[in-house]
Amino acid sequence: NAGVTQTPKFQVLKTGQSMTLQCAQDMNHEYMSWYRQDPGMGLRLIHYSVGAGITDQGEVPNGYNVSRSTTEDFPLRLLSAAPSQTSVYFCASSSILGTSYEQFFGPGTRLTVL
């Protein structure tokens, strides 16, 4: 199993450009999430999905879109990049273990918006 994979690892954009961060998992997990990590703020939830065709907003959804057409893939789209979106982005997928949810994280994408 590759687990959770993310591409690209690094990306530099100019303000106003759009791009898609890719995320895939091969563990047949129903739940997938996108977080951003900023210094001093921990990880904050952007969007999440409880299954194919179902997505919902997290804590900081503005400026991002997601879709979930398959169980495996959960891409994150930046519609018009802004410097405030400079961050490290992590994708995660979840399985249910007993009464708790264990999340598996990808290696991250470091995005810089100039």
Partner 1 sequence: GNSVTQMEGPVTLSEEAFLTINCTYTATGYPSLFWYVQYPGEGLQLLLKATKADDKGSNKGFEATYRKETTSFHLEKGSVQVSDSAVYFCALSQNTDKLIFGTGTRLQVFP
Residues that bind partner 1 (CB under 8 A): 4, 31, 33, 35, 40-45, 48, 50, 58, 90, 92, 94, 98-108
Q: Smallest gap, in angstroms, from Cβ of residue 40 to partner 1?
A: 6
Round to whole Å and give the CA distance between 80 and 64.
Answer: 9
Q: Smallest gap, in angstroms, from Cβ of residue 14 to partner 1?
A: 25
Q: Smallest gap, in angstroms, from Cβ of residue 10 to partner 1?
A: 11
Round to whole Å and give the CA distance between 93 and 108.
Answer: 13
Q: Smallest gap, in angstroms, from Cβ of residue 104 to partner 1?
A: 8
With respect to partner 1, which residue has the nearer C-beta, 3 or 83?
3
Burial class (CB in 10 A: 0-12, 13-18, 19+), 58: middle
Round to whole Å and give the CA distance between 73 and 24.
Answer: 4
With respect to partner 1, which residue has the nearer C-beta, 10 or 14?
10
With respect to partner 1, which residue has the nearer C-beta, 13 or 106?
106
Instruction: Tell me the pairing of strands 109-113 and 10-13.
Output: parallel
